[in-house]
Structure 1
Amino acid sequence: MLLISCPWCGDRDEVEFSYGGQAGVAYPADPEALTDAEWAEYVFVRDNPKGPFAERWVHTNGCRRWFDAVRDTATHRFLEDRS
């Protein structure tokens, strides 16, 4: 079982959360100006490092708030809360 620390609710079981993808991915300033290839890259291409990785999570079965966290992708251990 993986414990995830919600900044508002404290430590909870992983089944209460949903993964939201890579943190810090900015929405394009002018999405209408993007080519199909640029739009596809924005939607589908993300970093995939081995080690610490900033992610978005939502406490789906709790307070329903979004937060950023840094998780080590090799060990699945959460390293810090960035909310």
Structure 2
Amino acid sequence: MRIACPHCGLRDVQEFTYHGDAKPRRPDGLAATEAVMFEYVYLRDNPPGLHQELWYHGSCRAWLIVHRDTVTHAIESVMLAKDLKVGGAA
């Protein structure tokens, strides 16, 4: 699999580190009970299909949001995580 880094261009996946689903948002510290934090950390849906994932590219130290199909591994889009607006919209 190859990922198109916005800074470096098309690169092999071995240059990147996968950090999981990019959709969940950490609960607010004051409202985060033990049960809420348990659900945030451990209870995740894993349906097949298109996912928004968080990847780190060590070569240029960029955090990326990758829209990837988990069945075919086809990458639909890649963007810098810093360009993602609050709420998940690009």
- How many Å apart are 1:32 and its aligned residue? 4.0
CA-to-partner distance for each residue in 1:23-53, whole Å, 9 max, x for gaps?
1322212x24322221111112223121110
Q: Pick from 55, 59, 72: which aligns with 1:57?
A: 55
How many corresponding residue pairs? Answer: 80
Q: Does 1:77 align with 2:74?
A: yes
Q: Are 2:28 and 1:42 equivalent residues in the alignment?
A: no
Unpaired segments of 5 or more residues in structure 1?
none
Structure 2: tracts of 5 or more residues without a match: 81-90
The alignment's C-alpha RMSD in Å is 1.4
Q: Percent of pairs identical after alignment? A: 44
User: Which 4+ residue blocks in structure 1 deviate beyond 2 angstroms?
Assistant: 31-35
TM-score, normalising length: structure 1? 0.84
- What TM-score do you get using the length of structure 2 for normalisation? 0.78
